[in-house]
Amino acid sequence: MARLLQFFSILSLGALFCGVCGAQDLHAPSNVTAGEDVALPTSGSGKATFYLAGPGISQKNDVTLGEEIRLSGQDLRYAGDYTAILCSDTCHTATFYVTAAKPASVIFLVHPSRVPVGQNDAVSGVAFPFDQYRNLITVPENVNFQLSAKDASLWSRSIRTQNGVAWFRANSGKSAGPVQAVASLDDLSAKRAVQQVASDPCNLRITGQRTPNGILVQTEPVHDCAGNVVPDGTIVTFTATGPNGKGTVDAPVKQGIARAKIESPGTSVISVASGVVMGNEIRLGAQP
Amino acid sequence: MKYAIAIILVAVTAGLMVVGLFVTAQAGGTIGIAKGSALHTAKASTPDQALNNLLADVQRRNWDRAFANVVSTGGITEPAFIQDWIGSNGSVRSFSSLEGFEVRPLHETNDEAQMRVHLHFSSPVGPIEDVRDFHLVREGDLWKAVWPKVEIPSVPAQVIPVTYLRWDLVTGSAGDEWGAKNVDSPHVRIISMNAVDSAQGSVVMGEVTNEDTVPAFVTVNATLVDGAGNAIDEESSFDKIAHVLLPKQVTPYRIDFPNLSLKNVKNVHMDVKATLVPASADPVIGVMNQKIETDSQGKSVLHGDLLNQSGETVNIPHVIVSFYDNSGKVVWVSDGYVDRALLPQSTEAFAVEIPKSLAPSIHNFHVVVNQYSLNNS
Amino acid sequence: MTRQVLKKGIKRGIHFLAAVCFLFIATAFSSYAADGTVQVQLDVKKAGPRAVESLTERGVLRDYQFAWTNMARAFEFSSPDLLEGAFSGDAKQELRQTVSSQQRSHITRRYVDQSHQVEAVFYAPEGDVMELHDTAQYQLQILDGDKTVHDEHVVVHYIVLMTPAADRWVIRELQAVPQF
């Protein structure tokens, strides 16, 4: 009987002791926002080693069981999954998620940077809201898109993000010039510039005259079909076909007009082209 | 015994040195010339010998001896003769060397002879072939070449304003956020493509245009694909394209697949890449008097004159020509470098060869001038 | 006597060489195995507004697998150079910070037997960004020196943004979320 009592006493003491030393535990926090300080309660007594592994962090600290483990907002600034491990005799793990904070910036991608006028669905934009720690915000948000030229609004729409992204397509305007594209979320905004440029030359027309130095030929002001003058530097090819063969000059447009001098004695036919667009032909007689 | 090998080695080395010094000089042979006869005959008693002497000395850049084979009353000076061979103004010729030559007599009498020489130059842009006719006359016992007076363009001193557009490229700073560097690559488009078999292999050619409003640096690649969808070969246009295209400019391109036939090719994948590049609309080069003719060797050749309408020297002009049939399809693309620099307000002749089999089907052509100027490098 | 010593020496040399060769072969096979455990399946049917081209699909699949393989190696060996070429922007910065944090604390992690079910949910109109949802399964091991402090089979949901670089697609954002 006494031996039995002794045995059970030792067993109880042992269980109590082991219960004390095996009782460390770690409780995972819920609803952690990026950048927020967090305290992890622990239970048990004695010393333990605490590990934290997550996006941007791999930490190891000695801690005292029974006290809170404080995690700074700086350690938890990246959204994602974190694994907290507490090791004494054995290791206990708690996993928790950090979610993105409130919007602090909008990443805005707009294409193209140069667009011909009068094209359908020619301009597109994509916006991603991010928090101050560059975490993508996946909670739906309303993003306002606007295209404006010379303080006049060309197009605007409010679009709700899905999976953290909002996008749009819009037609290009009728007039050449810079267009501002803005994506705004509450009081945050991102601006981009799109240059609307003239389309292909339209109604390409030339005039020419024969001089002692050769044929001087020039275009009328080169416009696209919407009336926009084509940009300087656009290449216009003049071709003169005469008895001595063919002569060609690739001349750049300057202030809307391209000019060239071609040597072609005898009766010559002059034609013009720019890219794949052809213009009129003129015939000039031989040098008198 | 132990010194025998050393003694033998020294003796053999000394013997070879003697042979190298004395025997080679007597033989008069030249080592390292790949083509053409490079033997120098002491007394040129035939037109063939005289021309060979002249060209051998030109090859060795022995100018005094070369000029001694030229008629002294011809009106040409030695400096002009030298410049005619070595080029100037950073032209292709000034970076080239005469690798070899072949001489063929055309006509010969007791006192006069006409010889045709096929010259082979090596240059940074590849091998360059030239054919020249030489007129030789007998002076006493010796034959000498009559050298024509070299016409050097006389450009009067003047000031030519440059008012053409120039584009500069500004790259964003490294700290720019995602999406802020919003400058798209230029839009270019392949407007035609034609794949044909040729004597040297397959050729893919056509034209590409810059549809954008900014200059583009363009390269065109082609991949030949078999019936199973596997790539057979991939090649690039290299220099058979005008790489820098100004807005709305059109260039031919040609991609060669040596020793490859199209019979196993089911598809051709074209890939055109364009990047932003600084450029200038100057210089403007006109192409005048373009004509297709048959040259003295019976080859179909498109020749013409390049006219530099600007104030900048074009050191290396490069001509690329697309030839069309009567339906407007590109049937061939030829190119050629002009080995002389194009001085401001001056002209230089050019010629590109057309394959004999294609010449009858050619209805039209378009010449594009690619150019390299040292000032813009 | 001399001959016997020589024979023994030669035998020992042969044994040593065999051991070295075996080590090399074993390492090679284990590298191959490590590459082979990153499995990726990509579904692009729901991507929009732009349809994913077949070449793009192949490229994204290849480059996503490459990125995860390299990331696992970077964490296993605490080597930030392995992150070059597969990541850019914020993802690269964050992963480099993870690796340097590991170097300071002497903690490493292993992602073993990876399997990724990836779905493309957004492909921009100009093709310059793609959003993927990745349901990733792997054995996550966290080691303190040689001691394993955590070993668990996990299923993690990742939101991934990929953008085209010069010759490949790179990961610009890699963010784990509780659910899609």
* Residues of chain C found within 8 Å of residue B178, distances taken between Cβ atoms: 89, 163, 172
Nearest C-alpha neighbor of B279 from the set B130, B193, B169: B169
C36 touches chain A (CB under 8 A): no
The strand pair at A214-219 and A259-262 is best described as antiparallel
Smallest Cβ–Cβ distance between A83 and the set C106, C125, C142 belongs to C142
Work out the number of other CB atoms within 10 angstroms of the CB of residue A287.
12
CB contact under 8 A, A245 and B287: no
**In the prediction, which pLDDT does B155 show?**
73
Separation between Cα atoms, residue B128 and residue B97, nearest integer Å: 10
pLDDT tens for each residue of A182-237: 999 999 999 999 999 998 888 899 999 998 888 999 999 999 988 999 998 999 99
* Residues of chain C found within 8 Å of residue A81, distances taken between Cβ atoms: 156, 176
- Does residue A152 carry a pLDDT above 90? no
Separation between Cα atoms, residue B149 and residue B152, nearest integer Å: 9
pLDDT tens for each residue of B280-334: 888 899 999 999 999 888 889 999 999 998 888 899 999 999 999 999 999 999 9
The answer to whether the bond into A265 is cis (omega within 30° of 0) is: no
- 3 state SS of B265: coil
Which residue would you say has higher pLDDT here, A16 or C48?
C48
Separation between Cα atoms, residue A233 and residue A147, nearest integer Å: 28
Average pLDDT of span C37-47: 94
pLDDT tens for each residue of C111-140: 999 999 999 999 999 999 999 999 999 999
Which residue would you say has higher pLDDT here, A96 or B17?
A96
> Cα C135 vs. chain centroid, distance in angstroms?
15
pLDDT tens for each residue of B233-254: 999 999 999 999 999 999 999 9
The answer to whether the bond into B283 is cis (omega within 30° of 0) is: yes
- 3 state SS of C71: helix
* Residues of chain B found within 8 Å of residue A249, distances taken between Cβ atoms: 284-287, 309
Closest Cα of chain B to A152: distance in Å?
22
Separation between Cα atoms, residue B285 and residue C89, nearest integer Å: 46
Separation between Cα atoms, residue B242 and residue A25, nearest integer Å: 73
% chain B with pLDDT above 90: 50
Average pLDDT of span C46-67: 95
* Residues of chain B found within 8 Å of residue A113, distances taken between Cβ atoms: 182-184
Average pLDDT of span B339-355: 91
List the domain boundaries for chain C: 1-36, 40-177
Chain C neighbours, 3+ Cβ pairs < 8 A: A, B
Closest Cα of chain B to C7: distance in Å?
36
**In the prediction, which pLDDT does C27 show?**
47
When scoring B177, B178, B181, B184 by the number of chain C Cβ atoms within 10 A, the one with the most, hence best to mutate, is B178
- Does residue B74 carry a pLDDT above 90? no
Q: Is CATH 2.60.40.10 the right assignment for the domain spanning B285-376?
A: yes
When scoring B288, B291, B370 by the number of chain A Cβ atoms within 10 A, the one with the most, hence best to mutate, is B288
Separation between Cα atoms, residue B121 and residue B201, nearest integer Å: 24
Clarify whether residues A163 and A212 are in a common domain: no
Cα C72–C75–C81 angle (5° rounding)? 95
**In the prediction, which pLDDT does A257 show?**
94
Separation between Cα atoms, residue B256 and residue B126, nearest integer Å: 15
DSSP track, B51-104 = HHHHHHHHHHT-HHHHHTTB-GGGS--HHHHHHHHH--TT-SGGG-EEEEEEEE
Separation between Cα atoms, residue B266 and residue A29, nearest integer Å: 63
Range from A37-51, A190-204, C152-166 that averages highest in pLDDT: C152-166
Let me know: does B291 contact B278? Beta carbons within 8 Å.
no
Q: Give φ, ψ of B72 to 5 degrees.
A: -75, -20
Confidence of residue A159 (pLDDT cuts 50, 70, 90): very high
**In the prediction, which pLDDT does A15 show?**
47
Clarify whether residues A147 and A92 are in a common domain: no
Confidence of residue B181 (pLDDT cuts 50, 70, 90): low
- Per the structure, the count of domains in chain A is 3
Average pLDDT of span B342-351: 91
% chain B with pLDDT above 70: 89
Separation between Cα atoms, residue A16 and residue B25, nearest integer Å: 111
Smallest Cβ–Cβ distance between B291 and the set A234, A245, A261 belongs to A245
Average pLDDT of span C51-69: 96
CB contact under 8 A, C90 and A134: yes
The answer to whether the bond into A112 is cis (omega within 30° of 0) is: yes
Domain boundary among A99, A125, A140: A99
Chain B neighbours, 3+ Cβ pairs < 8 A: A, C
Does ipTM top 0.95? no
Nearest C-alpha neighbor of A27 from the set A81, A80, A92, A78: A92
* Residues of chain A found within 8 Å of residue B248, distances taken between Cβ atoms: 200-201, 234-236, 274-275
The strand pair at B201-210 and B188-198 is best described as antiparallel
Let me know: does B101 contact B89? Beta carbons within 8 Å.
no
**In the prediction, which pLDDT does A10 show?**
55
Separation between Cα atoms, residue B28 and residue B50, nearest integer Å: 16
- Does residue A16 carry a pLDDT above 60? no
Q: Which residue of C has its CA nearest to A109?
A: C128
CB contact under 8 A, C177 and A99: yes
Q: Give φ, ψ of A18 to 5 degrees.
A: -65, -35
Which residue would you say has higher pLDDT here, B163 or B265?
B265
Domain boundary among A50, A72, A99: A99
Average pLDDT of span C34-50: 86
- Does residue A157 carry a pLDDT above 50? yes
Average pLDDT of span A170-192: 93
Listed range (B15-19, B20-24, B148-152, B357-361) with the worst mean pLDDT: B20-24
- Does residue A19 carry a pLDDT above 70? no
Separation between Cα atoms, residue A143 and residue A163, nearest integer Å: 13
**In the prediction, which pLDDT does B372 show?**
84
Average pLDDT of span A137-153: 92
Nearest C-alpha neighbor of B181 from the set A109, C47, A160: A109
% chain C with pLDDT above 90: 78
CB contact under 8 A, C102 and A58: yes
* Residues of chain C found within 8 Å of residue A83, distances taken between Cβ atoms: 140, 142, 150
CB contact under 8 A, A231 and B213: yes
> Cα C109 vs. chain centroid, distance in angstroms?
12
Alpha helices in chain A (DSSP H): 2-21
CB contact under 8 A, C125 and A124: yes
- Domain encompassing residue A150: 103-197
**In the prediction, which pLDDT does B33 show?**
36
**In the prediction, which pLDDT does C29 show?**
40
What one-letter code names the amino acid at B253?
A: Y
Average pLDDT of span A102-128: 94
**In the prediction, which pLDDT does A9 show?**
58
- Does residue B35 carry a pLDDT above 50? no
- Does residue B174 carry a pLDDT above 70? no
Closest Cα of chain A to C61: distance in Å?
21
Let me know: does C118 contact C43? Beta carbons within 8 Å.
yes
B57 token code pair:
């000395």
Separation between Cα atoms, residue A241 and residue B363, nearest integer Å: 14
Q: Which residues contact C11 (CB under 8 A, 6 or more apart)?
A: none
pLDDT tens for each residue of C79-103: 999 999 999 999 999 999 999 999 9
* Residues of chain C found within 8 Å of residue A59, distances taken between Cβ atoms: 101, 105, 107
Beta-bridge partner residues of B112: B137
C178 touches chain A (CB under 8 A): yes
Domain boundary among A99, A128, A153: A99
Separation between Cα atoms, residue C155 and residue A99, nearest integer Å: 17
Clarify whether residues A78 and A107 are in a common domain: no
**In the prediction, which pLDDT does B298 show?**
87
- Does residue B160 carry a pLDDT above 80? no
A107 touches chain B (CB under 8 A): yes
Q: Which residue bears the tokens 């055309």?
A: B106
B174 touches chain C (CB under 8 A): no
**In the prediction, which pLDDT does B200 show?**
87
CB contact under 8 A, B182 and A251: no
Burial of B231 (0-12, 13-18, 19+ CB in 10 A): exposed
Element (H, E) at B112: strand B112-123
Separation between Cα atoms, residue A270 and residue A221, nearest integer Å: 18
CB contact under 8 A, C180 and A80: no
The CATH code of domain C40-177 reads 3.10.450.240
Q: Is the dihedral of CA A43, A46, A48, A50 positive or negative?
A: positive
Let me know: does B281 contact B164? Beta carbons within 8 Å.
yes
Q: Which residues contact B60 (CB under 8 A, 6 or more apart)?
A: B30
Q: In chain A, which among 236-255 make CB contacts under 8 A with chain B?
A: 236-237, 244-252, 254
CB contact under 8 A, A275 and B288: no
pLDDT tens for each residue of B123-158: 988 888 888 899 999 988 888 899 887 776 677 777
Clarify whether residues A229 and A271 are in a common domain: yes
Clarify whether residues A109 and A178 are in a common domain: yes
Clarify whether residues A188 and A108 are in a common domain: yes
* Residues of chain A found within 8 Å of residue C80, distances taken between Cβ atoms: none
Nearest C-alpha neighbor of A258 from the set A205, A189, A196, A202: A205
* Residues of chain A found within 8 Å of residue B246, distances taken between Cβ atoms: 233-235, 250, 252
**In the prediction, which pLDDT does B90 show?**
87
Work out the number of other CB atoms within 10 angstroms of the CB of residue B84.
18
Written in H, E and C, the secondary structure of A8-60 is HHHHHHHHHHHHHHCCCEECCCCCEECCCCEEECEECCCEEEEEEEECCEEEE
Looking at every residue in chain B, the average pLDDT score rounds to 86
pLDDT tens for each residue of C6-37: 777 777 767 666 665 555 554 444 322 334 57
Average pLDDT of span B41-47: 77
The CATH code of domain B47-146 reads 3.10.450.100
Separation between Cα atoms, residue C38 and residue C31, nearest integer Å: 12
Looking at every residue in chain A, the average pLDDT score rounds to 89
Cα C80–C84–C87 angle (5° rounding)? 105
**In the prediction, which pLDDT does C152 show?**
95
CB contact under 8 A, C144 and A49: yes
Clarify whether residues A256 and A169 are in a common domain: no
**In the prediction, which pLDDT does B377 show?**
54
- Report chain B's terminal Cα–Cα distance, integer Å: 66
The CATH code of domain B166-170+183-280 reads 2.60.40.10
